[in-house]
């Protein structure tokens, strides 16, 4: 009667409802029974989930796995967390559309956030074909990235688009949505997305609104602080009617730590006004990105090669150094002892702070930063400690919050890197630390924020809940032991407590063992 039966579960179905005893029957890739399944019912396999929670597979609504999953479709770091769907294309970086005449600029742009791979496709369909040909263990739900749209239409120029270039972006976005993209993201502190002004963003958001698609925004750095960034995102929703996802909500200025209630009040007021806005959060007090991101935007214009050529001109280099002393992202001071190198192509500097490297090399830190960006381009990644756990907990608790890792699906073994632990532990950390240990969230609500709610926001109507007819993306975990073990400045470690992960009815993680099956699919918005 069933291909797979899970018995004796403590079922948390993703809706926020309390746990209840239940069995789950699966036929093919669908859930075909939830409740009590008679003991004499035969299945090809039976999993005894006694003492375990069974819940929907986690939907990571904010990731940068666009090319890492082309490189290796296993997605080990996310699979071991219970993630069954990765939402890629965030912060303006997406693997489509690709303009063949600008392949080098596209590869350079994408290296900031994902993997240094040169695309051999041009659109969403081609990207999906590439992923399916390589084979996926988990599912992928793509967004189109504003930065990639800009590169395809006009390169990495620091200027407004011409009418023809704007029309190219509108056309490319509409085409991506027609092919099944779930929306568009901006990265308004990332070049070249940051070169787009408010009106440019609104013009593209109108395309999204017309199709009922999602607008996910890595916000702009606007003076005086995060309140202005939230206000701009709200105003895009107000002007266009688009659904707005505010990416990785955080307070990045130490003097503002502890003022999160002010931001949350802005979200609540916007919702009361009728603006459909929510936000994602990851459960760590540090961020990660390429070091080049923190350079003045004009320095980054034209891509890495143009940056290197520009910095070879003495007057331009002096200008860059002078501008850097004014801070980054609207005047945030350089905190050299809080910038930690997490990865570089040859392993240089990994686990060292920029302050330590400056002292070791005998080079003033501003100059060293320029030299590192010249040497490694967008491929040197840093972890930056400039947030507060108090704010993280406050944001996670809020009803509008969903969980997104802002990380990549990558292999556990990283010989020349110590990546941000969010890549390996986000979802077990929410369950183990913020729900079980600290009581910031009740367990059913924590699961809801990682399953049904992000699925609903994306428009995934057949995922995110344990219900008859839903796709059988399922996690079996131990609520007493589930926990992240990856740490900052350490080699990656797998979480504990994630026993079984099922994707499309296929068991792909079984008590630590990863299957060779590849049931994952590129999902499309319908």
pLDDT digits (tens, 9 = 90+) for 366-387: 999 999 999 999 999 999 998 8
- pTM for the complete prediction? 0.96
- Tell me, letter by letter, the H, E, C secondary structure of 483-503: ECCCCCCCCCCCCECEEEEEE
Q: What pLDDT, on a 0 to 100 scale, did the predictor assign at position 332?
A: 85
pLDDT at residue 331, rounded to an integer: 80
Using DSSP bridges, classify how beta strands 339-343 and 381-384 pair: parallel, antiparallel or unpaired: antiparallel
Q: How far apart are CA 376 and CA 374, in angstroms?
A: 6
Task: Determine whether 478 is exposed, middle or buried from the number of CB atoms within 10 Å of its CB (0-12, 13-18, 19+).
Answer: middle
Q: How far apart are CA 451 and CA 81, in angstroms?
A: 13
Residues 6+ apart with CB under 8 A from 475: 54, 55, 56, 57, 58, 82, 84, 498, 500, 501, 502
With 80 as the cut, is the pLDDT of residue 330 above it?
no
Residue 450's φ and ψ, nearest 5 degrees, are -115, 0
What's the rounded mean pLDDT across residues 454-475? 97
pLDDT tops 80 at residue 355:
yes
**Cis peptide bond N-terminal to 192, omega within 30:** yes
pLDDT in tens, 45-87: 999 999 999 999 999 999 999 999 999 999 999 999 999 999 9
Specify which residues 507 forms β-bridges with: 502
Residues in contact with 40: Cβ distance below 8 Å, sequence separation at least 6, in sequence order: none
Which of 293, 306, 300 lies closest to 334 in space, CA to CA? Answer: 293
Q: Where are the alpha helices (DSSP H) in 60-112?
A: 68-71, 76-79, 103-110
243-276 pLDDT, tens per residue?
Answer: 999 999 999 888 899 999 999 999 999 999 999 9
> Could you tell me the two tokens for 210?
């017309």
CA distance 52 to 498: 10
pLDDT value of residue 214: 98
Average pLDDT, the chain: 96
pLDDT digits (tens, 9 = 90+) for 184-238: 999 999 999 999 999 999 999 999 999 999 999 999 988 788 999 999 999 999 9
- Looking at residue 172, what is its pLDDT? 98
pLDDT at 59: 98
Instruction: Tally the residues of the chain.
Output: 526
- The region of weakest confidence among 356-360, 441-445, 487-491 is 487-491
Quote the pLDDT of residue 102. Answer: 97
pLDDT at 224: 84
φ, ψ dihedrals at 20, nearest 5°: -145, 155
Distance CA 406, CA 88 (A): 10
Contact, 245 vs 280, CB < 8 A? yes
> pLDDT tens, 154-195?
999 999 999 999 999 999 999 999 999 999 999 999 999 999
> Residue 389: its pLDDT value, please?
94
Domains of the chain and CATH, by start: 58-285+387-508 (3.20.20.140), 292-384 (no CATH)
d(CA 496, CA 387): 26
Mean pLDDT of the region 115-128: 96
Residue in the structure block whose two tokens are 């390429």: 290
Contacts 24+ apart (CB under 8 A), 112-115: 112/190, 112/289, 112/290, 112/292, 112/293, 112/378, 113/64, 113/66, 113/190, 113/289, 113/290, 114/64, 114/65, 114/66, 114/67, 114/68, 114/408, 115/66, 115/67, 115/68, 115/70, 115/71, 115/408
Residue 1 above 90 pLDDT? no
C-alpha distance from residue 138 to each of 13, 84, 245, 418, 499 (Å): 20, 5, 23, 23, 16
SS3 for 240? Answer: helix
Show the 3-state SS of 339-369.
Answer: EEEEECCCCCCCCCEHHHHHHHHCCCHHHHH
pLDDT, greater one: 84 or 333: 84
Range 155-158, long-range pairs (CB < 8 A, 24+ positions):
155/102, 155/105, 155/192, 155/302, 155/303, 156/105, 156/109, 156/191, 156/192, 156/300, 156/301, 156/302, 156/303, 156/306, 157/192, 157/195, 157/301, 157/302, 158/191, 158/192, 158/195, 158/297, 158/298, 158/301
Query: Model confidence over 22-53: pLDDT tens digits?
Result: 999 999 999 999 999 999 998 999 999 999 99
Verify cis geometry, omega within 30 degrees of 0, for the bond prior to 283.
no
- Distance separating the N- and C-terminal Cα atoms of the chain: 31
């Amino acid at each position: 009667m069933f291909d797979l039966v899970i018995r004796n579960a403590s079922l948390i179905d993703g809706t926020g409802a309390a746990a209840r005893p239940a069995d789950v029957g699966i036929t093919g890739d669908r859930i075909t029974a939830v409740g009590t399944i008679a003991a004499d019912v035969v299945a090809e396999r039976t999993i005894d989930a006694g003492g375990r929670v069974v819940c929907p597979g986690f939907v990571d609504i904010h990731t940068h796995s666009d090319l890492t999953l082309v490189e290796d479709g296993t997605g080990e770091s996310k699979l071991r967390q219970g993630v069954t769907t990765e939402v890629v294309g965030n912060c303006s970086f997406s693997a489509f559309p690709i303009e063949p005449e600008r392949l080098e600029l596209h590869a350079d742009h994408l290296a900031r956030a994902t993997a240094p791979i040169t695309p051999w496709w041009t659109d969403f369909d081609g990207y999906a074909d590439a992923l399916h040909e390589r084979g996926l263990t988990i599912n992928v739900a793509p967004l189109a990235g504003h930065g990639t749209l800009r590169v395809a239409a006009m390169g990495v120029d620091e200027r407004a688009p011409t009418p023809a270039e704007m029309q190219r972006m509108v056309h490319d976005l509409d085409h991506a949505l027609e092919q099944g993209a779930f929306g568009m993201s901006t990265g308004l502190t990332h070049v070249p997305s940051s070169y787009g002004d408010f009106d440019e963003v609104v013009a593209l958001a109108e395309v999204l609104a017309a199709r009922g698609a999602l607008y996910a925004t890595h916000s702009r750095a606007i003076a005086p602080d995060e309140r202005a960034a939230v206000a701009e995102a709200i105003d895009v929703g107000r002007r266009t009617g688009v659904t707005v996802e505010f990416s990785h909500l955080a307070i990045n200025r130490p003097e503002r730590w502890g003022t999160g209630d002010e931001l949350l009040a802005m979200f609540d007021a916007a919702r009361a006004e009728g603006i459909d806005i929510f936000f994602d959060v990851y459960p760590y007090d540090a961020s990660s990105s390429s070091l080049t991101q923190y350079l003045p935007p004009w320095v980054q214009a034209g891509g890495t090669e143009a940056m290197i050529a520009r910095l070879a001109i003495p007057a331009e280099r002096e200008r860059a150094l002078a501008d850097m002393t004014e801070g980054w992202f609207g005047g945030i001071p350089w905190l050299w002892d809080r910038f930690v190198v997490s990865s570089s192509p040859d392993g240089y500097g990994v686990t060292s702070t920029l302050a330590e490297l400056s002292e070791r090399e005998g080079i003033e830190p501003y100059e060293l930063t320029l030299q590192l960006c010249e040497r490694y381009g967008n491929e040197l990644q840093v972890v930056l400690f400039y947030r507060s756990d108090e704010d993280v907990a406050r944001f996670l608790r809020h009803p509008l919050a969903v969980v997104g890792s802002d990380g990549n699906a990558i292999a556990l073994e990283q010989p020349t890197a110590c990546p941000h632990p969010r890549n390996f532990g986000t979802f077990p950390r929410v369950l183990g630390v913020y729900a079980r240990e600290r009581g910031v969230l009740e367990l059913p609500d924590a699961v809801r924020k990682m399953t049904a709610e992000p699925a609903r926001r994306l428009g995934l109507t057949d995922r995110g809940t344990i219900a008859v007819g839903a796709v059988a993306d399922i996690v079996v975990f131990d609520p007493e032991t589930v926990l992240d073990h990856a740490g900052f400045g350490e080699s990656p470690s797998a979480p504990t407590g994630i026993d079984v992960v099922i994707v499309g009815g296929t068991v792909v993680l079984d008590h630590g063992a990863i299957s060779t099956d590849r049931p994952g699919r590129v999902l499309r918005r319908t």
